Amino acid sequence: MIMDDETRERRAEKLGRHLVYLMAKAVRDYAMIAEGDRVMVCHSGGKDSFALLDLLIRFLRQSREKFHVTAVGLDQNMPDFPKDVLPRFFEKQGIEYRIIHQDIYGAVKRKIPDGKNMCGLCSRLRRGALYRFAEENGMTKIALGHHRDDLVETLFLNMFYGGKMKAMPPKLLTDSGKHVVIRPMAYIAEEDLKRYSTLKQFPVIPGNLCGAAESSQRQTVKSLLASWKKDFPGRVETLFNSMQNIEPSQLADRNLFDFRNLGE
């Protein structure tokens, strides 16, 4: 559908208001951001990163807590990566930013044989680069662009293939105890982010430049969720709600509930 600029901007503004409301609620519910925090927004160039940065800056303008936002891009030396897109965008918007340059793509290619999945090592190296940057630059929070559907998808991936009920939490203290990772878009549906990204005309960088195919496990879960979204609207939302409403006594984890002493 062709839309004139005025209509597009009006719709973006309206949707943005709703998404900032959801973000503010998640930030408050999980005490994600405190006064004086230095929040590093990890920016991959994807639609979710653009939306996270945009919404977080809007949220900052209306928030009582004043905090500092820095966008941090990672140039991992992927073939055909358009190096100028993020700096140009950040400068045009007047957003403070830094770009980390690290040849993660080369390191992964050297270690992983052709045809094998590169994502595990790549993700570890990326995480390491971002955490190191956060530590060296006094960042107190690391914000990631995962949304509600990512959280539900991860829950099913772990249940189906890992035998564990765990997902990605809205707020996480890393194993080292050094970093607090936050996911301010935990209450936002992917569909809304897609719409927002289109309305805002973000200069999205394609996510498949590395050439890695999505794992078949992830594809399975994604298509399951997609079919539910189509056939049972609201189901993914209900699933997410259930992640916030757990009754350990009605499950079977002996570490979470003392079944042995029940009724003794």
* Residue ranges in contact with ligand SF4 by CB under 6 A: 118-119, 122-123, 210, 212
Q: How far apart are CA 200 and CA 187, in angstroms?
A: 20
Tell me whether residue 119 or residue 159 sits nearer to ligand SF4 (CB atom).
119
| Distance of closest approach, residue 162 Cβ to ligand SF4, in angstroms | 18
Minimum CB separation of residue 145 from ligand SF4 in Å reads 13
Minimum distance between the CB of residue 147 and ligand SF4, rounded to whole angstroms? Answer: 17
How far apart, in whole angstroms, are the C-alpha atoms of residue 237 and residue 220? 19
Sign of the CA dihedral 163, 215, 179, 136? positive
Rounded least distance, CB 207 to ligand SF4, Å? 7
β-partners of residue 43 are: 73
Smallest gap from residue 246 Cβ to ligand SF4 (A): 29
Q: Give the shortest CB-123-to-ligand SF4 separation in angstroms.
A: 5
Considering beta carbons, is residue 122 or 167 the nearer one to ligand SF4?
122
User: What distances in angstroms separate CA 201 from CA 8, 51, 94, 198, one per listed residue?
Assistant: 9, 11, 17, 5
Please name the helix (run of DSSP H) or strand (run of DSSP E) that holds residue 11, with its range, or none. helix 5-29
**Among residues 105 and 156, whose Cβ is nearest to ligand SF4?**
105
Whose Cβ is closer to ligand SF4: residue 36's or residue 120's? 120
Which positions ≥6 away from 248 have C-beta within 8 Å?
256, 257
Closest CB to ligand SF4 among residues 123, 201: 123
Give the helix ranges, DSSP H, for 73-214.
Answer: 85-93, 104-111, 119-136, 148-162, 190-200
Query: Residue 43, SS3?
Result: strand
The DSSP line for 161-177 is HHS------SEEE-TTS
Least Å from the CB of residue 139 to ligand SF4: 22
Specify the residue, 99 or 212, whose C-beta has the smaller distance to ligand SF4: 212
Distance between CA atoms of residues 129 and 77, nearest Å: 13
Q: Which is nearer to ligand SF4, 51 or 118 (CB)?
A: 118
